[in-house]
Structure 1
């Protein structure tokens, strides 16, 4: 696709209502994008206290943990919405009970669950098999990620999820039950608000569980 055609694609997507999901998805696929969200450079968000790099190049990060299966796809693109091949993507998130691996205060020292790294293919996509993230007090449901280009970190941000999906998962899947009501959702989580609607994944049913997709634009 030429630069002129890609600019036309982005302008058309920007003009379409968010409710036109099927049309947006079809147009995005024509341009090689995995979601119908308007392509944009993602905003930096806090890394938080839970990042470690266990050096695990793997797509399946579940390590047998209970929870709803989630196929997570993150597509790295440049500011012009062209997919970037060879980008390193790290993800990490909490389990169904709200715990992160690798921390003594979480009673998970030495563990590596729900952490992993993948390198994007020629379509700019890194894929992970994980579980739907749980929640913990003070935060909306999220997945952390980092993007590296040529061994240089270019983006640290977070992926958020539609609240209707989270409500369904937490009310119907036993692994997430018995923890009471969440005190933060996207609308009152300051990090989610700063990240904006472009950081909310597009979620659909999959053969097993759910599929979540996000296009992450990087400044390079």
Structure 2
């Protein structure tokens, strides 16, 4: 699936600080001692001194977590659930997230954390007919798509600015869903300590983007029968994966069946190379047994009073 979202325009956030992600990753049942990947405190922000957290635990406070484009494949939160797999094949993943106020470093309770990502073969639910993931990278063309290659040589040179928005454009323009599938999408409310946890699968990759997970944080709203409503979006970001972990996943089916050209972390146009504050997760899994499961953790430093819906980048 092509999601050429274009370079994110990063804002100057030096007036605010965020917490270094997660400390030691939480080890889920069946994972055990193994590989840990991700930025350390020194890598993330030069080893700056942090604040003392309650309970004697040390938390390192850094800049506000990077804002990124929403991308074209967001569907408004309507699935309040912890397990978002819906039976999708892939490496089991426990995603443990914390939301804090980047000024005070205090947990943000009752915030709605909304995540979505592609499956092991690069396909987004809700947009399957637009996907280019899967074995061979071709996916399934939409009904009625032409089967013959064009002939002749074009004679006209395109004029005007390139199109923006939608699956082929930048700026995070929204594309309307093409189907009713909603796997690998979900929302959870943070507890009093600012934590949420999701059960999902390790994402795959598709043309033009490195492996990633999208996230939004909503505050000031309330739960209803229809989902989370009201309030505002104070953070729109993406989580990223160390290259070593992605290479390990690529050895395991169904990831290993994909022939889609993969974009690396350093080649990606969205990840800003800033480590944890840019969305780089801490990952933990048992060495040589990644197929049994992965734990990913990160802390998002947000401005609860700000509005960042990811459509203005």
Shorter-chain TM-score: what band? 0.7 to 0.9
Q: Is the 8 A contact 2:61 2:105 kept in 1?
A: no
Q: Distance in 2 between matches of 1:117 and 1:90?
A: 4
**What corresponds to 1:4 in structure 2?**
none
Matched residue count: 199
**What corresponds to 2:294 in structure 1?**
210
Structure number with the bigger relative contact order (C-alpha 8 A, sep ≥ 6) is: 2
* Richer in helix (by share): 1
User: 1:116: Cα distance to partner?
Assistant: 0.2
Q: Distance in 2 between matches of 1:105 and 1:181?
A: 15
Q: Residues 50-88 of structure 1: CA distance to partner in whole angstroms, max 9, x if unpaired?
A: 000251100000000100000001100011321111110
2:121 to 80, 97, 101: 97
Q: Residues 144-165 of structure 1: CA distance to partner in whole angstroms, max 9, x if unpaired?
A: 0000110210011000011101
Alignment of 1:117-136 (within 5 A): 117-136=187-206
Residue range with higher mean Cα deviation, 88-97 or 201-210: 201-210
**What corresponds to 1:82 in structure 2?**
106
Q: Distance in 2 between matches of 1:30 and 1:182?
A: 46
TM-score (norm 1): 0.81
2:253 to 174, 177, 180: 174
**What corresponds to 2:265 in structure 1?**
186
**What corresponds to 1:140 in structure 2?**
210
List alignment gaps of at least 5 residues for structure 1.
Answer: 1-6
List alignment gaps of at least 5 residues for structure 2.
Answer: 1-16, 24-39, 132-139, 141-177, 221-230, 305-313
Ranges of 4+ aligned residues in structure 1 off by more than 4 Å: 27-30
